[in-house]
Amino acid sequence: MTPKRYHFALVTFHWLLAVLLLVALGMGSLVLQHIPNESPDKINALRGHMVAGGLILILTLIRLAVRLKTSHPTPASTGNIMLDRLAVLAHYGLYLLVVLMAASGIALSIQANLPAAVFAGTAALPASFEDFAPRLGHGLIAKALIALITAHILAALYHQFVRRDGLLSRMWFGGK
């Protein structure tokens, strides 16, 4: 039998990841970018950003595994076959961008020797992160992820308030 709601674990991971992604993307775009590398505040901000990024990667991979192992409600329709296909691609695109974001962050961290600087205190931050190739990818992926998350939110609101199909109740806590 097809469930009416997503599995409790998927719902939990979805909303936890939503909050963590907003915090990490906001921290990277609005805070870290504007703190000079010479500032002592940069270390603490980077530590939080890196821990959040690692946690996001782990939770995303667990969520993907749970998604592949559990049954889901019938896909919601927009009434347009192309948009419905695009929705499937967008959902897997979110997973892909999160993994790529984490990979570029890890690559940047390794190249810039951030674990030694941020967690061990045995190295200094580089003068600029712009000198490291993964930094460009990390920034571009962040913009793509923000755009896709925005589209995801707008699509959910469209379903909820225009189509009135109760889409959000499927991705919320409650009985089966």
Q: Is residue 15 part of a domain?
A: yes
pTM: 0.93
Q: Is residue 176 part of a domain?
A: no
Provide long-range contacts, Cβ within 8 A and 24+ apart, for 46-52.
46/114, 46/117, 46/118, 46/125, 47/118, 47/119, 49/24, 50/105, 50/109, 50/114, 50/118, 52/20, 52/23, 52/24, 52/27
* CATH label of the domain that carries residue 88: 1.20.950.20
Q: Is residue 2 part of a domain?
A: no
In the three-class reduction of DSSP (H, G, I as helix; E, B as strand; rest coil), residue 60 is classed as: helix
Q: Is residue 80 part of a domain?
A: yes
Q: Is residue 39 part of a domain?
A: yes
User: Which residues form the domain of 12?
Assistant: 8-170
**pLDDT value of position 175:** 66
| Structural domain count of the chain | 1
**pLDDT value of position 1:** 83
Tokens 């897997």, located at residue: 92
pLDDT tens readout for residues 152-163: 999 999 999 999
Q: Is residue 175 part of a domain?
A: no
Q: Is residue 154 part of a domain?
A: yes
* Amino acid of residue 35: I
Q: C-alpha distances in angstroms, 60 versus 9, 54, 77, 168? A: 12, 10, 25, 20
Q: Which residues of the chain have pLDDT under 70?
A: 175-176
Q: Are 100 and 141 in contact (CB under 8 A)?
A: yes
A 10 A CB-CB count for 159 gives 19
